[in-house]
A and B are shown apart, each in its own frame.
Chain A
């Protein structure tokens, strides 16, 4: 391997001081191990440099309002608005709770009904290539559309949403200041109180109501639906985590700041070395957002212990390819750019069955439980899974990335320490609550 041929490190970390500080909590470590010098090769240092800092938030040309502060405020208001749900008790913030690091702390999501997957946290969601565990959305705004009409999440229809905006003078005023005049939703003959396309039940009342609307009126309602989602996306783009203790360590490395380097705990340094080396974690959790934004088989059973039943990426790829709200669709503000290009080259097939997206690891310590069904309660459980693959399903996918690592207890603790060092929950407090007005 070329890795082993890199010039050995010029940077040595004398970790004794750090170990001394931690010795009370880590008394199980032998003295010999405590005093070891942590060494990174030039190749490892090059990899670390690519893991931090997080670059600026990428532009989203498909959303003309992505960086419009008025849209972001409007979206933030709606993000916390429980009136936008079937029982008026659920909002986006119910599952993406700022008090729980924009997750919910539950194995499976619970909106107006029980969901069938774990809630993904929203940190750095603007960096994603695909959205949802199965990647069935290709932009952040098209992701934000789905929970509104999902029967288990907010459970309303796009027509209900439009009526809600039209009937609330504050919301109507805010919307029209950004996007222009709302359709004349007071004309009940043209716009029934509720309706949406229901692809798997063409006989449902919601579908029939939607189908009865003139195409031009459908388009107007869709435009309102999309503008709401683009506003919510404009808010979610601001939920950024980029200044963890790992980032500070990486920055200190670049600056040859030995004092800064030594502030980073030795166990986290060892965990980092494992993460980018023998642990193989970086195969999928690569780059400064610690995700390849692609899809993999984690060989986990479902939360009830059964075999995998969720087609995941196989279905998600099929859905995104025929999604009218995709980056190349009529509601995108850039139908030919890089976001649309993703779809042009997307390859779907049986090999994608049961694959789930690699989530970011930034702030992962604050978003337990873990995995697509919330099967694993703690970070230690996650590392144990990847180390020993206990009860792992026979891989139904040709990919052979997961192999037993047989990590020692200390190595497991080190990896957990590294993952914990990716935490930065600092955010403008104004982003953590509903604004007083939209």
Chain B
């Protein structure tokens, strides 16, 4: 996987909108982005249990990346899947960048990242246990992700620093 930049903002792809969805989903996303769902920034309010972001919310997502703020507002977490869009029932990888929520120009160091996913309506998770590797440029590579079933998945990127964990939660609709 090629990592093009070491900032949470620089887009790794030159596509204007790469939201990991098929065209029919654009309609859904437009509805979400225009008021059908809270934006990622709004959902990151401290009283919310988890920050939540659908792909391409109103959080000014750089092209080709999905991002949100962690549940206690400390981190701005961005990921790109490979392949994109995420395929059904095939292994995929994530490249993840974790920056401070206020200062997003550089990935943070001295943090740990844990990745997992689940289908809340089915009460089950993945059948794989992903592994996370920290890269020299400050990004992370997550291997071993596999969404074996169509439907709504929640992707959890948990950031731990100095013993405190915050969750960045994303929603992925897989058809």
CA distance A47 to B121 in the complex (A): 21
**Interface hits, B68-92 → A, CB 8 Å:** 88-89, 91
B117-173: which have CB < 8 Å to A? 121-124, 126-131, 143-144, 146, 148-151, 173
Q: How far is the CA of A42 from the CA of B151 in the complex (A)?
A: 17
Given A284-B149, A286-B149, A345-B131, decide whether A2 and B28 contact each other with a Cβ distance below 8 A.
Answer: yes
B173: chain A residues at CB < 8 Å are: 2
Q: A361-378 CB contact bits vs B (8 Å, 1 = yes)?
A: 000000000000000000
A344 lies within 8 A of B88 (CB): no
**Chain B residues whose C-beta falls within 8 Å of the C-beta of A3 in the assembled complex:** 175
Which one of B88, B143, B175 lies within 8 Å of A2 (CB-CB)?
B175
- Chain A residues with CB under 8 Å of B13's CB are none
**Distance between Cα atoms of A338 and B173 in the complex (Å):** 25
The chain A residue with its CB closest to the CB of B145 is A345
A46 at the interface (CB under 8 A from B): yes
Cβ contact within 8 Å between B24 and A346: no
Please, which residue of chain A has its CB at the minimum distance from the CB of B149?
A283
CB neighbours of A292 from chain B (8 A): 89, 148-149
B114 CB to closest chain A CB, in angstroms? Answer: 14
A295: Cβ under 8 A from any B Cβ: yes
- A351 CB contacts on chain B under 8 angstroms: 124
A347 adjacent to chain B (CB < 8 Å): yes
Given A2-B28, A6-B24, A400-B122, verify A346-B150 contact (CB < 8 Å): no
Given contacts A3-B175, A6-B24, A345-B130, contact A294 B148 (CB under 8 A): yes
Residue of A nearest to B32 (CB): A2
B27 in the interface (beta carbon within 8 A): yes
A-contact 0/1 string along B47-67, CB 8 Å cutoff: 000000000000000000000
Contact: A43 with B128, CB < 8 Å? no
If A43-B24, A46-B22, A283-B150 touch, does A344 touch B123 (CB 8 Å cutoff)? no
* A5-B131 in contact given A284-B149, A287-B89, A292-B149 (Cβ < 8 Å): no
Contacts of B143 in A (CB 8 A): 345
> Are B126 and A401 interface neighbours, CB within 8 A?
no
Check B127–A295 contact: CB distance below 8 A: yes
Q: How far is the CA of A69 from the CA of B63 in the complex (A)?
A: 49
- State which of B88, B123, B128 has its C-beta within 8 Å of the C-beta of A347: B128
Nearest-CB distance from A218 to chain B (Å)? 33
A418 to B123 CA separation, bound complex (whole angstroms): 29
Docked-complex contact A5 and B28, CB < 8 angstroms? yes
How many B residues touch the partner, as a band?
20 to 34
**CB contact between A341 and one of B91, B122, B150 (< 8 Å): that residue:** B91
Q: Once the chains bind, are A399 and B123 in contact (CB under 8 Å)?
A: yes
Please tell me which one of the listed residues A43, A294, A295 contacts residue B175 in the complex, with CB atoms under 8 A apart. A43
- B25 contacts which chain A residues (CB < 8 A)? 2
The answer to whether A398 has its CB under 8 Å from any CB of chain B is yes
- Known contacts: A46-B24, A47-B175, A341-B91. The answer to whether A398 contacts B146 by CB under 8 A is no
Query: Is A283's CB under 8 angstroms from B151's CB?
Result: yes
- By the criterion CB–CB under 8 Å, are B126 and A347 in contact? yes
Please indicate the chain B residues that have their CB under 8 angstroms from the CB of A338 in the complex: 91
A351-B144 Cα distance, complex, nearest whole Å:
19
Judge whether A164 is part of the interface by a CB distance below 8 angstroms: no
**Chain B 5-49 per-residue mask, 1 if CB under 8 angstroms from chain A, else 0:** 000000000000000001011011001000000000000000000
Contacts of B127 in A (CB 8 A): 294-295, 346-347
Inter-chain CA distance A284–B127, complex, in Å, is 13
Cβ of A39 to closest chain B Cβ, rounded Å: 16
CB proximity to B under 8 Å, residues A245-264 = none
A286 CA to B90 CA in the complex, in Å? 12
| Cβ-closest chain B residue relative to A400 | B123
B88 smallest CB distance to A (angstroms): 6
**Docked CA distance A294–B123 (Å):** 16
What are 16 pairs between A and B in contact, CB < 8 Å? A2-B24, A47-B175, A282-B150, A283-B122, A283-B149, A283-B150, A286-B88, A294-B127, A338-B91, A341-B91, A347-B127, A347-B128, A398-B123, A399-B122, A400-B121, A401-B122
Residues of chain A whose beta carbon lies under 8 Å from any beta carbon of chain B:
2-3, 5-7, 42-43, 46-47, 50, 282-284, 286-287, 292-295, 338, 341, 344-347, 351, 398-401
Known: A294-B149, A399-B123. 12 other contacts (CB 8 A): A2-B175, A5-B31, A42-B24, A46-B24, A284-B149, A286-B89, A345-B91, A345-B131, A345-B146, A346-B127, A398-B123, A400-B123
